[in-house]
Structure formats: C-alpha cells, structure tokens
Amino acid sequence: MHIVPHMWFRNTWAWGHEDESKKPNIKQENPLIAKSEHWSLGNRYLQLSPSPGVTPESPDVLPELMFTDNDTNYKCLYNGENQTPYVKDAFHKYIVDDEKDAVNPAKTGTKAAAWYAFEEGDGVPPGGCAVVRFKFSRNVETRSYIPGEPEIGIDEELFDDIIERRRSEADEFYWRISPLPMADDLRNIQRQALSGMLWTKQHYHFVWDQWANGDPSQPPPPPGRKGIRNQTWKHMYLDDVLSMPDCWEYPFFAAWDTAFHAIPLAMVDPDFAKRQLDLLTREWYMHPNGQVSEIQVCGETL
C-alpha cells in the first residue's frame, strides 16, 4: 500500500498573465517539512509525521518528500518539448516506473508529495491498519521530547485529540439537525447526504472573455468559439465558491441546479445558502433575459 499526499500550486504562470517573478515555489525545509512560498498567499507548511509500524515488530514508515513542477508533459502527450525537466507526472514515474531521475534532486518545485510506502514486511496485514498524520498550516509546530532540546514535528498526541474533538463536534452537530427519533441507518444516510453537499463546494472561476480569446502564451482557441451557443454570455465573470451539482464535471455550470442546492444546504449552512442565491441573481451570473438558467460553458446553453 502506498499513501501519497500532495501539495501543489495551480499552474497560472504558464498562461502569460503574470510576471515570471510571481511564480510560486515549494521546497524542502527538512525531511518532514515542505514549505510553500507565494507572492500573495504568503508561506504555508506541509508537516509530516512518521507512520507507526503496523505491527509491534514493524519499524516506523518514514515519508519521502518528492518535488517536481506542475507543468504538462508535452513530450509524453504531443512528442513536443517540455518547458522544464521535471513535469507533473513525475511522481507516477518515480513510484510506479522506478524512474529515479523523474523528480527534482534539488528538492524544490511547484508540486510536492510525501511518499509513505508500506512494502512487504512493513505492509498492512489482513485486519490491520495504518495511520498517517500530516497537516497544512501557516506555522511550523515545535515539540520537545527532552527538556531543553526542541524538535520540529507534529505533536501526535495533540493531533489525535483534535481529530477526536472534531469528530465529537460533528456528531453533536448532525444530531441537533434531526433530534427527533430516527433509525440509525436513516440518520447515517442523512448525515452522508448532507456532508456530501458540503463537499460539493468548489471555487468556480470562469471569465467568458478569457475563455473566448485564450491566454497570451497559449495557442489561440478556434475562431468559432466566440459564435457558438454561449455567445450571449459575454458578461459572465465567475470567481466564487459555489455548490457544484457535479464538481467532477467542471467546467459545466448549472445555475438552476445550484439554486436547488440551497434547499438542503439551508439545513447545515443557511448563511452560505442565502449568499448562493444572492450570487445567482447578480447581473454577471444571470442570463441576459434575467432568467436563472443553465449554461454549459463548453457546450450547450439551455
């Protein structure tokens, strides 16, 4: 079993809208910490903890930090030339294909991952379990095992206490939504459904002008794009967190379905539900005729 948590920057530097000096970076601070640096977001840290052995005899599994750039592998896709020697599928090549030169040996890039490898001998036995702890934070946590000798790393006991506290708070939250008598199975179904609604929140960024005209450093889109079914939506400028009906189907956008999402969301986050409806009736979201309708930004307007 292999667990590979990732941290990466969305590739906006290749579009030609930003100055090259604003390109972000992730680098290794020490074997258990990666530090990200961004011109507007500031610094963040991916902090890791060794995974305890899955059996009393097994040693701890130490993560291996890997780095590459979040740039397309043009050589693999189009037999073209890559902009960087380290491309976005490097971790697959490193782990699956055993290509050890696929990742950046300088331990820096715009994409990072921690590789926890539970190999034979240290693998997870039938009925066993593995625990992997990591966190994304603004600051580096300091702990001390020996008085006077601080050590950088995750306080695992505090980490586990927080996880259990959040689990207890979630139990109480969902119980208060439906305090009336209800079968356990039905209560569990409702909880999964409502938590699924919360997971559909997604930052949705679509600007018709950029979509129609393309990016300065990229090949231009086909001329016919400006005259297809979405030609009446030139005013669209979406840059908000929305409840997406099918977040895996991005960039499909369905305002009609998103508006209906406000009904169940009002049970768990009424403020977000109200703001969602308010957004959908703004002039930069609505159809020119004032209707809250559906638009498929790469296809058909309904």
With cut-offs at 50, 70 and 90, classify the pLDDT of residue 178.
confident
Q: Is 264 left (phi over 0), alpha (psi -120 to 50) or beta?
A: alpha
Residue 295: the pLDDT is: 47
Tell me which of 101-105, 143-147, 263-267 is least confident. 143-147
- Sheet of strand 33-38: strand arrangement: 108-109, 25-30, 33-38, 42-48, 134-137
Q: What percent of the chain has pLDDT over 70?
A: 89
102 or 142, higher pLDDT: 102
CA dihedral for 247, 252, 254, 257, sign (positive or negative): negative
Q: What percent of the chain has pLDDT over 90?
A: 53
With cut-offs at 50, 70 and 90, classify the pLDDT of residue 247.
low
H helices of 39-183, where? 74-78, 90-95, 156-177
Does the pLDDT value for residue 196 go beyond 70? Answer: yes
Residue 153: the pLDDT is: 72
Residue 288: the pLDDT is: 74
Mean pLDDT value of segment 13-32: 91
Average pLDDT, the chain: 87
- Residue 270 contacts by C-beta under 8 Å, 6 or more apart in sequence? none
SS3 128: coil
Mean pLDDT value of segment 162-191: 92
How confident is the model over 281-298, as pLDDT tens digits?
A: 888 888 777 776 554 444
Residue 211: the pLDDT is: 86
Residue 93 in contact with residue 99, Cβ under 8 Å? yes
Q: In one letter, which amino acid is 96?
A: V
CA distances for 35 relative to 8, 21, 144, angstroms = 11, 18, 21
With cut-offs at 50, 70 and 90, classify the pLDDT of residue 122.
low
Residue 205: the pLDDT is: 86
User: How far apart are alpha carbons 62 and 117 in whole angstroms?
Assistant: 8
User: How far apart are alpha carbons 197 and 195 in whole angstroms?
Assistant: 5
Does the pLDDT value for residue 92 go beyond 60? Answer: yes
User: How far apart are alpha carbons 72 and 32 in whole angstroms?
Assistant: 27
With cut-offs at 50, 70 and 90, classify the pLDDT of residue 230.
low
With cut-offs at 50, 70 and 90, classify the pLDDT of residue 43.
very high
User: How far apart are alpha carbons 54 and 294 in whole angstroms?
Assistant: 50
Give the count of alpha carbons within 13 A of 77, CB side only.
9
